[in-house]
Amino acid sequence: MRDYLDSLARNGEVVTVDRPVDPYHELAAVTRAMQDRGTQVVRFNSVRDTDLPVVTNVHTNRERFAQLIGATRKTFCRDWQTLVREPGSSQAPTAAVARPADLVSGTLGDLPLITYHARDAAPYFTAAIVLAQDPDTAVPNLSFHRAMFVSDAELRVRIGESHDLAAIYAKAEARNEPLDAAMLIGVAPELFAAACASIPRDASELALAARIAGQPLPVYPGDAVALDIPASTEVVIEGQILPGERRREGPFGEFLGYYVPEGRNPVFDVRSVYWRPQAVFHSLLCGSAEDRVPLQMLNAAATFGYLSKRLPGIVDVSCAPSLLNTTVSIEQQYDGHARDVMMAAFESNQDYHKVCVVVDADDSTDDVTEVFRALVSRGRLDKRVIVIEDMPGFYRDPHKDHYGRLGIDATRPYGREAEFEKKAIPGQNDIDLDDWL
Ligand SMILES: Cc1cc2nc3c(=O)[nH]c(=O)nc-3n(C[C@H](O)[C@H](O)[C@H](O)COP(=O)(O)O)c2cc1C
């Protein structure tokens, strides 16, 4: 992560806070305020009760995130699909290196223990990426799982049922075996992106990270677990997720902006904690741009791939602003095209796409104001809205709060496009107001 931060700093995209900050609510409050001002990375150099500096707001910017794969925001969906579909490169995805001699050993209590929201039960690690491997196939998997600090020996983690780690853990549990795992905090951006992505379970997310980086990923052997640790990781927590054990975790202020109540969740038994010399610790404000932007972009890219395989004319997809909504732009090919796109989007993933809006190719998919304007200005609403009752949503949804879907056709009426030509003023894009004021 430090190489990436250095490159962002050279571009003036990092601000530094030297004033001491309290990890109990204050650090989160400053992070939040900084996000209202822009997308600069913040580095807190003096965090109470720890020697490690904290960086946050690293992945808050769509253009910056797109650049990780050499794309722009406009080309991201297409370029990401090319990347994931590329046949495995002839290079090995990882390159074994010796375990560095200068890693610093410590305890969880030495790390920044950050409490974010008013009703959070405890400090949380929010940017911890869990590395584990399938017990049958040894395919490595990366995914984020919030981790509640309990003591130097114990964390409690939430593993959503639809995620690959849930399936991997279930296999270990069925054998009554603990699952070796490592939490990686402060990773190179290619690992961050690979951890956000959902790819088939038989594909390695370490190999995907190597493909994004365009070179094999250096890894060294774990200290207490049989896993290869990506060498760029700033802070590593190794341990085991215990079989048949669930303990109280939460409440925690989650990504939809509400508190998830206390539940009984798996236990991560800590075995070894260490970090690189001069390590930086990554903190991420749940539900903020740093959480939403990467997931939105990768979910949009996956949806683009799904739709493009099934239907013609798919131009772009965005899941801004909430992740649970989707906007698709199309080159209309036939009457009813938009409706087919909505239905396919709903089929593509049960967790997302609660609302799907379809717009034309020359409309923005990220700008909700523009999408809404298209919706209300292009013909009768009652024929352009589909409500699907009782279509299931999230897996753990006892009240069915995420059931149902809303589809909205905000494209120009098919065959009458000329009547809805966007007006333009000749020369409007060439005006430099400094020449006029
Ligand atoms: C910052 C962040 C935090 C997340 N926290 C959790 C979490 O606490 N529990 C969970 O199950 N998924 C969480 N997720 C979602 C999964 O980590 C993510 O969807 C991942 O792609 C799943 O990986 P998989 O393809 O290996 O299933 C989080 C994602 C991000 C970006």
User: What does the pLDDT look like over 303-321, one tens digit per residue?
Assistant: 999 999 999 999 999 999 9
**What is the share, in percent, of the chain residues with pLDDT greater than 70?**
98
Hunting for tokens 């341990």 — which residue is that?
239
What is residue 379's predicted lDDT score, i.e. its pLDDT? 86
Reported as a pLDDT band with limits 50, 70 and 90, residue 19 is very high
Q: What is the DSSP letter of 9?
A: H
Among 54-63, 81-90, 415-424, name the one with the lowest average pLDDT: 81-90
CA distances from 423 to 287, 360, 411, 414, 426 (A): 37, 15, 16, 19, 10
- Residue with the nearest Cα to atom 26 of ligand 1? 164
To the nearest 10°, the Cα dihedral for 161, 165, 169, 172?
140
Over range 276-281, report the average pLDDT: 98
> How close is the Cα of 312 to the center of ligand 1, in Å?
31
CA distances from 257 to 144, 201, 344 (A): 18, 29, 28
CA dist 286 and 260 (Å) reads 12
8 Å CB contact between 298 and 278: no
Q: Which residues contact 228 (CB under 8 A, 6 or more apart)?
A: 94, 96, 140, 206, 219, 220, 221, 222
Q: What's the mean pLDDT when you consider all of the chain? A: 95
Q: Which residues contact 158 (CB under 8 A, 6 or more apart)?
A: 145, 146, 249, 250, 252, 260, 263, 265
∠ CA 127-39-121, nearest 5°, is 35
Helix (H, G, I), strand (E, B) or coil at 199: coil
384 Cβ closer than 6 Å to some ligand 1 atom: no
8 Å CB contact between 341 and 311: yes
Test site for ligand 1: of 56, 145, 350, most ligand atoms within 8 A of the Cβ? 145
282 Cβ closer than 6 Å to some ligand 1 atom: no
342: which strand partners? none
> How close is the Cα of 263 to the center of ligand 1, in Å?
17
How many other C-beta atoms are found inside a 10 Å radius of the C-beta of residue 187?
26
Reported as a pLDDT band with limits 50, 70 and 90, residue 87 is low
pLDDT at position 25 over 90: yes
The pTM (predicted TM-score) of the whole model is 0.94
CA dist 236 and 222 (Å) reads 9
221: which strand partners? 228
Q: Which residues contact 388 (CB under 8 A, 6 or more apart)?
A: 346, 404, 405, 406, 407
| Region of 214 on the Ramachandran plot (φ > 0 left; ψ -120 to 50 alpha; else beta) | left
Atom of ligand 1 lying closest to residue 160 CA:
11
Atom of ligand 1 lying closest to residue 294 CA:
31
Helix axes 289-310, 76-85, angle to 10 degrees: 70
What pairing do the DSSP bridges indicate for beta strands 104-106 and 147-151?
unpaired
Test site for ligand 1: of 124, 134, 144, 192, most ligand atoms within 8 A of the Cβ? 144
Helix (H) or strand (E) holding 55: strand 54-56
Over range 61-75, report the average pLDDT: 95
Hunting for tokens 């969906």 — which residue is that?
77
Domains and CATH numbers, the chain: 2-285 (2.30.110.10), 290-418 (3.40.1670.10)
∠ CA 12-14-17, nearest 5°, is 130
Q: Which residues contact 253 (CB under 8 A, 6 or more apart)?
A: 116, 117, 118, 119, 120, 259, 286, 287
pLDDT at position 88 over 70: no
Helix (H, G, I), strand (E, B) or coil at 30: helix
CA dist 201 and 205 (Å) reads 9
| Region of 230 on the Ramachandran plot (φ > 0 left; ψ -120 to 50 alpha; else beta) | beta
What is residue 86's predicted lDDT score, i.e. its pLDDT? 74
Summarised one tens digit per residue, pLDDT across range 375-390 is 999 988 999 999 999 9
Summarised one tens digit per residue, pLDDT across range 165-176 is 999 999 999 999
